[in-house]
Amino acid sequence: MPYRMVFNVDGGCRWNGQPNAIGAAAACLYYGRNDDYWSRSEILPDSPTPTSSRAELMAINLALEWALERCEELHSDPYCIIEIYSDSQFAVDCMTYWRDIWPDNGWLNGRGCEVAKKDLLEKAFAKHHQILDEFGEVNYYWIPREENDDADWECNEALDEKEDEMFGVSETPGETGGYYEISSDSEYYSSDDDYYYQSSSDEAW
């Protein structure tokens, strides 16, 4: 009987694209019948400068690494079916449509430049293929942001803790258009708000 793992992931960044940006990634692994979950989160390193799209890919990596750990711990050696749900169309497309194209193309985009975020993509692709080779399959799904509350909450918690370390206590986030107001001078971007998905002009292609 297959062993199924379901993850929701999210990444976010405050002061997105600025030198003092902070980013975080979160993954939720569901269990039981009541949408209970375990969670993991991680703060992005200061270099390269955090962005929301880097955070979304870090969240994918977090789930894949966790899935590999779980697969290796299983004693009965079942066929593993791993489902990863993200509200980032960019991240999902990287792991599906572009997963084989970019490595085969020497990691060059349509303009002949190196694909952005290659470091995170290489790690994610390697983990993906390890799961396929040794344990089973991985499937990626896009979901609307409103269906990703758990991972979003965990991501915000990690960002709040980091911001508190840097500047003191932050306010509870409240949704305001395409970002969350954390304090008077900070912004939280999630999903693809800062990443218009245009194959002709976007930095990833």
pLDDT of 34? 82
Q: How far apart are CA 8 and CA 94, in angstroms?
A: 16
Give the chain's end-to-end CA distance (angstroms, integer). 40
Would strands 3-14 and 136-142 be described as parallel, antiparallel, or unpaired? unpaired
Share of the chain above pLDDT 70, in %: 82
Between 199 and 14, name the one with better pLDDT.
14
What pLDDT is attached to residue 170? Answer: 52
- Write down all domains in the chain, each with its CATH number in brackets: 3-190 (3.30.420.10)
Q: What are the tens digits of pLDDT across the range 128-139?
A: 999 999 999 999
CA distance 110 to 129: 24
φ/ψ bin of 17: left (φ > 0), alpha (ψ from -120 to 50), beta (otherwise): left
**Which amino acid is it at 40?**
R
